[in-house]
Amino acid sequence: MKLTAEQIQDLYKFTRQHYVEHYDVQTELVDHLANDIEQICKEKPSLTFTEARDISFKKFGVFGFMEVVEQKQGELYGGRGTKTRTTAKKVSQNFMAICKRMV
C-alpha cells in the first residue's frame, strides 16, 4: 500500500500533536512512520491506515517520539539546551575547585 498525500499530511499533523516542533525532525519521523505503515499494511492488508499508524507509533515505546526529539536536539545544539543531570558529586567537585583557586 502506497500512502496518499493526505495520509502523509496526517502523519505530519500526528507528529505535531505529539510535540515534535522542528520540521526536519517531523520529516524524519514521517518518513520512518510511512515506511513502517506500508510494511505493516503489506503484512496485514485488512488494517486501516490509522490502525497501522498506531501500531507503528507503539514501537517508539512509552515516551513516544520524545527520545528521538531529545537526541536530535542534542545533535542540533551540541548538548546545549538539553537537560543536564547535576549530581551532588559534580557540585562538590566544582565547589572544591573554586575554593582552591581562591586560596
Q: Where are the domains of the chain?
A: 5-102
pTM over 0.85: no
pLDDT tens per residue across span 12-33: 999 999 999 999 999 999 999 9
How far from 17 is each of 6, 24, 101, CA to CA, in Å?
A: 16, 16, 50
